[in-house]
Each structure stands twice: as structure tokens, then as C-alpha cells.
Amino acid sequence: MRVEGRFVVYKRGGQVVHIMSGSSAPAADFVVNKGGPKRSFPFRGDETLEVMPLGGGNEVGRSCCLLKFKGKTIMFDCGVHPGYRGEESLPFFDEVDADQVDLLLVTHFHVDHAAGVPYWLTKTAFKGKTYMTYPTLAICKLVWSDFIKVSGVADGSGNLYNDKDIQDTISQINLIDYHQEIEVEGVRFSCFNAGHVLGACMYLVQIAGVRVLYTGDYSRQEDRHLMAAEMPGVKVNVLVVESTYGVQVRFRLLGDLAVQISQHSMDTLAYGAAEARVESNVLVVVVVVVIVIVIVMVIVMV
């Protein structure tokens, strides 16, 4: 197996942020707000904050991201890759010591973010705590059960876990509500609505004064079912953001779309007024015929 990549973000002199990939020398230096006011990062000396994707880096699927800082290790999400089966679908767990991970924070119930949780909790040496929202757990129970039915062979020998593992996993899950703040072993965290699906959340983690926001999948578009993702009302020092379609324009602004529809309607009326009148007359005839048929049927039935 190979690791997806490693990015180390740290601070020196209060001005330059270095990004390192793997074990090589810094690949690039990024000057923060060059020419503007100095940005406030609460790092001290040569402290190191490491972000390592175990899955979901340069791919869609098996989202799993490690955060290491101040001797604390946090795992965000634990999904599987829908394009693979068995252990090949899991994140690259061999790159981390499971018993050194303090927390697992799950953002939402989708297979690529949560289907690996029962395996992580029952098949590894992980001894930390796991958190997710109430709706996420409720739907995860169904997702996990369905996952083992469709992903393995008939006798279940190819499954990553079984029904008993799912029950054992459920008993280990801790629940968190939006805006609730929890502290575990010096790690303080809370979650905010992320839109996307029911129960989806983004996590704001604070360790030694450094705030890290992990978004998971999120949506800023409000619809008839879900509110738009929230913006935490605090300054964030490190942002780890989902960006599957980050460089693509997939949706027009509602205002622009409305203008285009209006213009298209006007063009249609101006170009095909005569045709529209003919179609209107035909529609009236059809409606009258339907009404007559309905009346006749009612009389016959009576």
C-alpha cells in the first residue's frame, strides 16, 4: 500500500507557512498576506501541525484524514472506496498506529465517509473515542447493514465486518449535537451544520489555541429540505476543505438562471406567436373532449 500524501504545516517567524510533501524538503513556501497586515497564527517556535490524508487525496472515495499536533492524533472520517472490494477499499491504515489515534470524528453517513468505521473500531487496535451526530448514527446503522449485503459474497466471507461488528460499533459511538462543545484529553471540538445531507457536519477542533476546521462534504445552497452550511463565527487557523468540484462551475447563480429563463421565454413568444396560438386552440379542444368523456363515463356509471 501507499500513503496518499503528507502535508506538514508549521510556522516560523510569524510570517511564512511551509508545506512539506512526504519526507522531502519543503516543496513550497507560501507567504501569508504579503504586503498586508500580519496574520495571527498561534504557533510557537517550530511546532508542527501535520495533516495526512489516508484516503480521499487525489481521488473520490475512502475519505480519511489524520491531524497530528501537540502529541494528539485525530482522524476525520473513515470511508471506503466504492470502486474496490475487501481491504483494498479501505483507507491506508498501515500508515498509522491505530492505538495512537485519540479521536475519530465522522462528518456524515455516506459510504465514502463512514462505511469503514465498523472495521476501524472492531478490527484494529484503536482505543479512542468516536463521535458523530444523532442523524448520522441513525442512518449509518442502515448504511452499514446494507453495505455488507452488497459488498461481499453470498456466504459473507468477503465482508469487511458482520452484523455483530456493527452492533459492537454502535455501542462505542458517542453522539454530538450542532454547536455542542466537547473536550477529550485536551482536544476541544464542536460541530456545525454542513448542509449536504441530513446530519452532515463540519468539525472545529482546537488544540493549544490552534483552530482547525475540517469541512467534509458541504453545501452552501439551501434547499427545501436542508439549510445551507454554517460559517463558524470564529477565526480559523487551518482549513481542511472538501474540494471534489473545487475547480468546476457546476451550478449557475439563481439570479443568472432566472434572467436566462425569462429571456428564453420572451424569445419564444416573439418568434412563435402564431404557432403558439394554434397550439393553444388545439389544447382547448383536447381539454373539452376530455371533459365530455369524463361526463359520459359518470352518467354511464350512475
pLDDT digits (tens, 9 = 90+) for 120-137: 999 999 999 999 999 999
The x, y and z cell numbers of residue 193, run together, are 451544520
Dist. CA 105–CA 192, nearest whole Å: 13
Q: 97: phi > 0 → left, psi -120 to 50 → alpha, else beta; which?
A: beta
Instruction: Quote the pTM value.
Output: 0.72
pLDDT at 265 over 70: no
Nearest to 190 by CA among 200, 199, 181, 198: 181
pLDDT digits (tens, 9 = 90+) for 214-259: 999 998 888 888 899 998 999 999 999 888 766 666 555 555 655 6
**SS3 per residue for the chain:** CCCCCCEEEEEECCCEEEEEECCCCCCEEEECCCCCCCCCCCCCCCCEEEEEEEECCCCCCCCEEEEEECCEEEEECCCCCCCCCHHHHCCCHHHCCHHHCCEEECCCCCHHHHCCHHHHHHHCCCCCEEEECHHHHHHHHHHHHHHHHHHCCCCCCCCCCCHHHHHHHHHHEEECCCCCEEEECCEEEEEEECCCCCCCEEEEEEECCEEEEECCCCCCCCCCCCCCCCCCCCCCCEEECCCCCCCCCCCCCHHHHHHHHHHHHHHHHHHCHHHHHHHHHHHHHHHHHHHHHHHHHHHHHC
Nearest to 113 by CA among 141, 146, 82, 149: 82
Q: Average pLDDT, stretch 266-277?
A: 59
- 90-101 per-residue burial string, b: 16 or more CB within 10 A, e: under 16: bbbbeebebeeb
Average pLDDT, the chain: 79
What pLDDT was estimated at residue 27?
A: 35
